[in-house]
Amino acid sequence: MEAASASVVYVESGRMSQRKRTVIDILRGSPGFVSGQTISDNLGISRNAVHKHVNSLRERGYRIVGVSRRGYKLEEEPCRLAMPIVAKLTQNTLFGHSLRYHDEIESTNAEAKALAADGAPEGTVVIAECQSKGRGRLGRKWTSPSGKGLLFSVILRPPLPMTEAHLLTLVSATAAAEGIEAQAKIPVQIKWPNDLFLNNRKLGGILLEVSGEHDSVEWVVVGIGINVNTEFAELPAPLRRTAISLKIATGQPVDRSVLLARILLALEKSYLDAVSSGFERALRGFRERDYLLHRSVSVQTREGPVVGEAAGIDDRGALLVELPHRHIRRFHSGDVTLQ
Ligand code: BTN
């Protein structure tokens, strides 16, 4: 089901069952606690089933307190992007003409790829408050609590050969960094090839997926995930030493709607500049923010790890690593860790 307003299409995922909606409606209708029995009588389901629905709503960002013998109380609903504001700030732009908003989705990249394969025009943007199967690079997962991050994917149809498509990762990372810096007034670094870094921790990432034939790109999906208002306790435990959000770094909540618009505008500018004039601006933007430069790194390759000192990127976007005897090796892809 779809409902449209201006350039925003609100796509109803249909994933939230009528029962969960009713649980929310009952909790919303009461300022105090509602007993599990009242909800179970209302829905005609067991109290155990009520408990399961409540837990699943918690996973979707609803803060529901449960107290034995008193029941449940809705304390906070998940934050939503103000899409009319995003539409207004991006009106009459390429990346503002079709904003497809989902409360929940498996993956904005997967959805954007399906739309692209179906012929959706360049500049279509898929946005979600949360993803059940968010994807990262190298088969990793991307998780973010509902309403706390930015999760979106943009469809591009660049007039480029396949051999240049990967450079759009640098374009996208630089644009995302510019948008964040303008909004949060903090310097963002880029860890080659696709990570956004802040205070030595990962703030976000870019996942580029490309389709094409005979050396020409048919479509590119640029997926961007950024931890914006995520609290420290909401980061997955294994990532608490390596990840960060803008709110954790600055102590201030960030207006996600304005941030999304800023990034879309910066991305459009950098993208149009890259396809019309080449990648110099993006390469410069990357080099100004190169997180790895002069650090001792280990690049995972099929033959095993290669250790050396990061020496920037070349004009094709490849990572340069200085090995002993000043020998420079180029890497076009790979996973890099600090030594
Ligand atoms: C990475 O760091 O490995 C890249 C992470 C990219 C995550 C974003 S979130 C929006 C878009 N949809 C996805 O499934 N992945 C990207």
User: Above 90 in pLDDT, residue 123?
Assistant: yes
CA of 112 to the centre of ligand 1 (A): 12
Find out whether the beta carbon of 193 lies less than 6 Å from any atom of ligand 1.
Answer: no
Write the pLDDT tens digit of every residue in 173-228.
Answer: 999 999 999 999 999 999 999 999 999 999 999 999 999 987 899 999 999 999 99
pLDDT at 114 over 90: yes
Distance separating alpha carbons of residues 339 and 329, to the nearest angstrom? 17
Q: How far apart are the first and last CA of the chain?
A: 50
- Tell whether the model's pLDDT for residue 119 goes beyond 90: yes
- If one residue of 102, 109, 155 were mutated to test the ligand 1 pocket, choosing by the most ligand atoms within 8 A of its CB, it would be 109
Smallest Cα–Cα separation from 131: which of 112, 115, 116, 117?
112
Testing ligand 1's pocket by substitution, the residue of 105, 126, 135 carrying the most ligand atoms inside 8 A of its CB is: 135
Q: Distance between CA 102 and CA 111 in Å, rounded?
A: 10
Model confidence at 129: pLDDT above 70: yes
Residue-level pLDDT at 338: 96
Within 13 Å, how many C-alpha atoms sit on residue 257's CB side? 13
Strands (DSSP E) contained in 116-200 are 124-131, 149-156, 189-191, 195-198
Mean pLDDT of the chain: 94
172 lines ligand 1 (CB under 6 A): no
Question: What pLDDT is stored for residue 13 in this prediction?
Answer: 62
pLDDT at 61: 78
Tens digits of residue pLDDT in 224-278: 999 999 999 999 999 999 999 999 999 999 999 999 999 999 999 999 999 999 9
- Using one digit for the tens of pLDDT, what is the confidence trace for 14-60? 567 889 989 999 999 999 999 999 999 999 999 999 999 999 888 77
Local confidence band at 5 (pLDDT 50, 70, 90 cut-offs): low
What percentage of residues in the chain have a pLDDT greater than 90? 86
The predicted pLDDT at position 95 comes to: 98
pTM above 0.85, yes or no: yes
Specify the 3-state DSSP secondary structure of 92.
coil
CB of 204 shorter than 6 A to ligand 1 = no
- Residue 228 Cα, ligand 1 centroid: separation in angstroms? 14
- The predicted model gives 90-101 an average pLDDT of 97
Give the pair of three-digit tokens for residue 71. Answer: 């029941």
Following CA atoms 224, 228, 230, 235 in sequence, which dihedral angle do they give, to the nearest 10 degrees?
A: 40
Q: How confident is the model at residue 1 (pLDDT cuts 50, 70, 90)?
A: low
The residue that leads in pLDDT, 76 or 135, is 135
pLDDT of residue 56: 87
Q: Which long-range contacts (CB under 8 A, 24 or more apart) does 8-15 make?
A: 8/83, 8/84, 8/86, 8/87, 8/99, 8/100, 8/101, 9/98, 9/99, 9/100, 9/101, 10/83, 10/101, 11/100, 11/101, 11/102, 13/102, 13/103, 13/104, 13/105, 15/104, 15/132
CA pair distance 292, 172, nearest whole angstrom:
18
Token pair recorded at residue 206: 């870019």
Cβ-count burial of 146 within 10 angstroms (0-12 exposed, 13-18 middle, 19+ buried)? buried
- Residue 214's pLDDT is what? 74
